[in-house]
Structure 1
Amino acid sequence: MAHTLLIKNMVCARCKSTILELLESIGLEIESIELGKVVVKQDIKDHYKTIKNGLKNLGFELIEDELVVLIENIKVLVIQCISENNVVDIFSKITKEIGKNDATISKIFSKSEGITLEKYIINLKIEKVKEYIQLNQLNFSEIAYNLNYNNSSHLAKQFKTVTGMSMSEYRKLQNWDRKELDRIV
């Protein structure tokens, strides 16, 4: 009997491999793994405490509350969209996947996280901008295009509002001030 584990703070491929390694070391067979979700082929009740503690020791958390599951699913969808440079219509993807309208999703997210979903998306996009700047592979116009900004000046203004410095000033820094994606909210 397959069992689905919903896991908080699982935001990248490295997270997936770390969790896969943990679960396999416990002796579990994995059917599928994606950001925020692992399907285990067998029943986990005998291993539940070990899984929960192992995840906690690695900085992850099993999600059991329905509201927390919803919020984590929203975060995972936003992170996936931004990571894949698929930011054209994040809200429609979220509403399609979650099955609730924009207003409901925004209200639930804001109430739970203390920040609007729009502001959360902006903060994640700014972290992606920081990554692009650090990699030094794209110019500011290309970065703006990849993240679906109308133009680079719109991105520049938003970057300065969020970080307090221009993108050029950030590029000159030696000590990159980047936040972990699972620590944005």
Structure 2
Amino acid sequence: METIYIKNMVCNRCIVSVLNIFKTEDYTVESLKLGEVVAIKGLKSEFSNLSNALEKAGFKIIENDNDALIEKIKVALIHKIEIGETANLFQALAEKFGKTEAALSKLFSKSEGLTLEKYTINLKIEKVKEHIQLGQLNFSEIAYSLNYKTSSHLARQFKTVTGMSMSDYKSLGSWDRKTLDRIV
């Protein structure tokens, strides 16, 4: 049994896709969660075929510990933002991974060419776009759900990242959203 770390798994559909690829390539999957698969190789399994099939679907096998940690950080951030737990985010990550906030930030920046803070802001902005598109929350409620102190702080950040106000974005009708695996 081996643990294989997978890059670009960001949602439940990714889990289904990766599961299907592993089954097609004759692996028995013991457990599967975002970014991580524990599987047993079948008799007809070829690791290169698995790798190629995953890459064809937009995923990639992670081959070193630092890249695996970066992917775990991304998955943890996506999950925290999805459930609205954004207070003390970097401190929580540091505790979870047994590193200092500075060490995680430095590793992330070096690997991704983007600071951990900027990546988190980009994730939040994509979540804001989703909320706007769904039309279920007003701007103040969106800001509150993402743990912003004020809706004006969110509005400034949204404009800085997207180049337009949230109202302008809302009135577009044809929304430009990035998939979470394409933020970095």
1:114 maps to 2:117: no
Between 25-34 and 166-175, the greater mean CA deviation after superposition: 25-34
Cα drift, residue 143 of structure 1? 0.5
Q: Is the partner of 2:148 in helix, strand or coil?
A: coil
Identity of aligned residues (%): 54
2:145 alignment partner in structure 1: 146
Aligned to 1:125: 124
The answer on 1:80 being equivalent to 2:109 is: no
For structure 2, list consecutive stretches of 5 or more residues without a partner in the other structure: none
Task: Give 1:48's aligned residue.
Answer: 47
Provide the aligned length of Structure 1 versus Structure 2: 183
Does structure 2 retain, via aligned residues, the 8 Å contact 1:124–1:184? Answer: yes
Is 2:102 aligned against 1:94?
A: no
Distance change >3 Å, CA 147–CA 89, structure 1 → 2: same
Work out the CA distance in 2 between the residues paired with 1:145 and 1:102: 24
Contact 1:8/1:62 (<8 A) preserved = yes
1:13-45 alpha-carbon deviations (Å, 9 max, x no partner): 0000111111112222211111100111x2469
Kindly provide the CA deviation profile for residues 96-141 of structure 1, in whole angstroms up to 9, marking residues without a partner as x: 2221100111111111211110011001100000000001011111
SS for the counterpart of 1:178 is coil
Do the aligned partners of 1:20 and 1:30 also contact (CA within 8 Å) in 2? yes
User: Helix, strand or coil for the counterpart of 1:177?
Assistant: coil
1:62-73 matched pairs, under 5 angstroms: 62-73=61-72
Alignment partners' CA distance in 2, 1:138 and 1:95: 31
2:37 corresponding residue in structure 1 = 38
1:184 aligns with 2:180: no
Q: Which amino acid aligns with 2:34?
A: L
1:7 maps to 6
CA distance in 2, matches of 1:44, 1:4: 15
Tell me the equivalent position of 1:22. 21
TM-score, scaled to structure 1: 0.94
Distance 1:44 1:127 in 2: 39
Aligned-pair distance for 1:169? Answer: 0.4
Q: TM-score, normalised by structure 2?
A: 0.95
Letter in 2 for 1:164: G
Distance 2:157 2:109 in 1: 20
CA distance in 1, matches of 2:165, 2:179: 20
The secondary structure found in structure 1 opposite 2:137 is coil
Counterpart for residue 171 of structure 1: 170
Kindly indicate whether the alpha-carbon contact (under 8 Å) linking 2:26 and 2:41 is maintained by their aligned counterparts in 1: no
- Give, in whole Å, the separation in 2 of the partners of 1:163 and 1:5: 35
